[in-house]
Structure 1
Amino acid sequence: MRPDVLGIYLNDHLAGSTTGKLLSQHLAEEMRSTPHGSDLRRVADEVAEDRQHLLDVMSLLGVPARRHKFYAGWLAEKLRLLKLNGRIVRRSHLSTIIELETLRLGIEGKSLLWQTLLRLTPARGLDEARLKDLVRRAMDQAEMVEAARRGTVGVVFR
């Protein structure tokens, strides 16, 4: 494997984790008074921790974090605000569904990242037990986000 391939891969996930961190924080705040508010706050806190763990892995592997990837993730999260949702001034509940689906997809991608790193563990000296915990945690996060999505769908499309 070319040495830059792993760096590109990890930095692409760093961009995604930046988007996920901001989006999960937004959803936790937006849905704080719903039955899923505490679960989404937990997901947001864990997503931020997971992003830091990715940065720690990158440091351990000698992969520098590329600032342009960080800013790409930040910009992607901000661009979601431009999405037309059938409303001019107010926020649509449809936006919440799309944001929950986007977050769920991001969590699924993060799970695949941890699984990929598990395959590299023997050769790279990564913490296998910690990566397995992160895979399980991503599955739990996906379930919590899915429950919030289903609940929101029930309200919007009833």
Structure 2
Amino acid sequence: MNDDMLHAYLQHHWAGSSAGVAMFERVGRSHSDPEVAAEVRQLAAEMNEDREAQRQMIIATGATPSRIAAATGRAVELAGRFKPNGRLVRRSPLSDLFELEALRDAVAGKRAGWQLLRAATEGDVRVDPLQLDDLIRRADVQLARLEDLHLRVGRAVIRA
């Protein structure tokens, strides 16, 4: 196994998880539907737990989680807030919908990372395949929850 490539891949996903956690936390604070916001806050807590599992994997493989990658991920999330939504000063109802789509994309990317790690590290005693299986299943559940929220909010926004 090429540890340089493994470490680079883990650091890339570390940056992504930093952006994802920040995005989940922000949407959990700003979503206009209090029930959706509460569900997103619960998902944000799970994203933090998944990020901790990732941090432990990085350490177990002999690397150190990059502060630069984490800061870059958070900066990318911040830049992603600036998008055309048809409103200059206030949030558009579409913002709630687009943010849920971005959260779905974030979890899908996380799931893809877990899947690849599961396949690429088979036989590597530093990475627990059962933990990766659990993380993949958890991402599937998170995606289903976000899909439900997305459809609920989307119907309300489009029909309004």
> Is the shorter-chain TM-score for this pair beyond 0.5, marking a shared fold?
yes
Aligned letter for 1:75?
Answer: A
Whether the aligned pair in 1 keeps the contact of 2:25 and 2:41 (CA below 8 Å) is yes
Could you list the runs of 5+ residues in structure 2 that have no partner in the other structure? none
Q: Deviations over 1:91-136 (max 9, x none)?
A: 1121222211111111011111111222214224322222111111
1:151 aligns with 152
1:112 aligns with 112
- Secondary structure of the 2:153 match is helix
2:128 aligns with 127
Whether the aligned pair in 2 keeps the contact of 1:108 and 1:142 (CA below 8 Å) is yes
**Take 2:51 and 2:77, find their aligned partners in 1: how far apart are those partners?**
15
**Take 1:84 and 1:124, find their aligned partners in 2: how far apart are those partners?**
47
- Secondary structure of the 1:82 match is coil
**Take 1:51 and 1:143, find their aligned partners in 2: how far apart are those partners?**
19
Whether the aligned pair in 2 keeps the contact of 1:40 and 1:144 (CA below 8 Å) is no
Give RMSD over aligned pairs: 1.6
Task: Give structure 1 regions of 4+ aligned residues with deviation exceeding 6 angstroms.
Answer: none
Residues 5-154 of structure 1 mapped to structure 2, 5 A cutoff: 5-31=5-31, 33-119=33-119, 120-154=121-155
Could you list the runs of 5+ residues in structure 1 that have no partner in the other structure? none
**Take 2:104 and 2:33, find their aligned partners in 1: how far apart are those partners?**
20
Q: Percent identity?
A: 32
Whether the aligned pair in 1 keeps the contact of 2:13 and 2:110 (CA below 8 Å) is yes
Number of aligned residue pairs: 158
**Take 2:45 and 2:65, find their aligned partners in 1: how far apart are those partners?**
21
